[in-house]
Structures are given as C-alpha cells and as structure tokens.
Structure 1
Amino acid sequence: MDLERYHQLALQKQKEHRKFLAGLKKKPPKNLDRLSQEIHVEVFEEIDCIQCANCCRHLGPLLTEADITRISKTFRMKLSAFEEAFLRVDEDGDKVFQSMPCPFIGEDNLCSIYDVRPKACREFPHTDRKKIYQINHLTIQNTLICPAAYLFVEKLQERLK
C-alpha cells in the first residue's frame, strides 16, 4: 500500500473535501446515514488495515479510564503501574501513550491488545458513524493518515454528485 501516495492525494483534495463536507452539514441528504454505512463497508473491503497500520504509528488515541482499567487488567498490572509504564497526560489533559508508534503494535502490524484496545482505536476512522457531517474536522484530518478515510470521502462525494 502506497501510504505516501494517499497522503499526497489527501493533501491535494483537502480544500475540495472540506467544501464538500461543509455542504453536507448545511443540507444533509436524507439517505446520508445509510449511504455512509454502505460506503464504509465497501471501503474496508478494499483497504486492509493490517497492511497499513498508519494510525497505530502516527495517531495516539485518547485512553478513557475504562480503556486503562481494561488494558491494565489484561497485563495484570495496577492502574498506576500501567499508567507510569505506558501513558502521559497531553496538553489537553487527556491520557495518551507516552510515544508513538503505539507500544502494542508489532513488526507485523498486528495489535497485541486488539481484543481490549482503546475505544478510540475501535472506532477509528469514524466513517461508520451516523451524522458524519458532525465530525467534518476530524474526517478531514483522518484522510491525511488513513487511506480508508480518504477513499470514504471520495466515494461519498462521487455518489452524492
């Protein structure tokens, strides 16, 4: 997978994508949620996250208290020991990994905590969300990292023309 190519395409189309998504916010089509779900499924039939894992290398997820509790239990670690070993508090006051790439991503791009991964990781890139126009800023950001998010916006734009 040519991640640099997708990144360059996303950069080139950022202005166009932003304008398109802003239009959806002003006047969302009646079938937008259904169409978004269909395109989300289509895109993930084309894109194999394991081949990519770009999000795991570059985007640090926000970890909720539930995430931290669940993951630390998996390692049989006390919360404080887990937080000290793996987490830091960012400028927004959120708990995130101390460094990227994710400490749980392997050389093979497989996640060693996949079954208990953070909620943010489970939901990324958020293209299966209802009322997708409510997260336009996030969607635009995600197109720069995630080929699936880029293709999602491209296909949505194509279908709604």
Structure 2
Amino acid sequence: MDLNLFVEESKSNYPANKKLKERLRKVKPKVLDAKFESLHNETFAELDCLACANCCKTTSPIFIQTDIDRLAKVFRMKSSVFIETYLHRDEDGDYVLNSAPCPFLKEDNTCLVYEDRPKACREYPHTNRKNMHGILNLTLQNTLICPAVSKIFEQIGVDYRK
C-alpha cells in the first residue's frame, strides 16, 4: 500500500466526504448502521490491516484506566510508571501516546501487545458498531487515516452522494 498516495487522495476526497457526512445524518439510524456494518465486513474481507498500519503510525488511541492497568501489568510496572513512560493527557484530558508511531508497533506492522491492546485499538476503525450517527465526525476524520474507512465512505457514497 502506498500511504503517500492514500494521504493525497484522502485529502482530495475530504470535501466531498464532508458533504456526504451531512447527507448521512438524514439516513435512519438502523439503516445507516446496517449499511456501515455490511460495507465494513466486505472491506475487511479484502483489506489487510497489517499491510498498512497507518493508524498505528500516525495517531494514538485513547487509553482508559483499565487499558493502562492491563498494559502496566504486561510490562511488570506500576500504572503510574506506564503513564510516565508512554502517555500524556491531550487537550480533552484523555491519556494518549507521547509519540507516533506507536511504541508497540513492530517492524512487520504487528502489535507487541496485541492481545492486551487498548479498547480503542480493538474497536478501530469503529465502522461496524451501533449508532454510527453519533460518530460520523470521527468516521469522517478516520477517512484521512484508514484506507478501509476511506473505501467504506466511497462505497456508501454510491447510494447517498446525490
């Protein structure tokens, strides 16, 4: 996957995707959830996250306290030391990584802590969950990070980009 090309294309598509997001707000919630879930399943049957890992290379998940405690245990350190070593609070007061790429991302794009990864990583890119209306802004932002989300938006636009 050519991530530089993806970044260029996703930025170019962003204005149209932003307009699409506004149209999607008018779609019935259950219909929208079902459409996203269906496209999520189709897309991830074709795309391999390990070929990309752009999310791990460019952004940070939010770490909730249970994530911090679990990972601190994995590394045999106190939660406070895990925070001091890897995290800081962002402008919203959430714990996020100090730097990108993720310190747990290995050279082959696999995750050192995959079995114990944060909840946000487990759920990413959030395109197969209920209440997509509630996260349309986040999903739009994720079109700039995740080729799968960009493809899902492109596909959903076939039905709703009018």
Q: Is the 8 A contact 1:7 1:143 kept in 2?
A: no
Q: Look up the match of 1:63.
A: 63
Alignment partner, residue 42 of structure 2: 42
How do 1:1-161 and structure 2 match up within 5 A? 1-28=1-28, 31-160=31-160
Q: Which runs of 4+ in 1 moved over 3 A?
A: none
Q: Taking every aligned residue pair, what percent have the same amino acid on both sides?
A: 46
2:109 is paired with a residue whose SS is coil
SS in 1 for 2:88: strand
Preserved CA contact (<8 Å) 2:29 2:131: no
| Of 149-158 and 76-85, the range deviating more from structure 2 | 76-85
TM-score, length of structure 2 as denominator length:
0.92
Q: Describe the superposition over 1:114-158 as per-residue Cα deviations: whole angstroms up to 9, x where unpaired.
A: 011111111111111223232222111111111001001011111
- Secondary structure of 1:111 counterpart: coil
Unaligned runs of 5+ in 1: none
- 2:143 partner SS: helix
Cα distance in 2 for residues equivalent to 1:7 and 1:134: 25
The residue type paired with residue 58 of structure 1 is: T
Range with greater deviation from structure 2 (103-112 or 13-22): 13-22
Q: How far apart in 2 are the matches of 1:102 and 1:45?
A: 25
Q: Which runs of 5+ in 2 are unaligned?
A: none
CA–CA separation in structure 1 for the residues paired with 2:107 and 2:136: 32
Mapped to 2, the partners of 1:4 and 1:127 lie a distance apart of 23
Give, as a single letter, the amino acid of the residue that structure 2 aligns with 1:23.
R
Structure-1-length-normalised TM-score = 0.92
For this pair of structures, how many residues does the alignment match?
161
What do you get for the CA RMSD once the two structures are aligned? 1.6
Moved more, 24-33 or 89-98: 24-33
Between the aligned partners of 1:90 and 1:34, the Cα distance in structure 2 is 33
SS of residue paired to 2:25: helix
CA distance in structure 2 between the aligned counterparts of 1:146 and 1:95, rounded to whole angstroms:
22
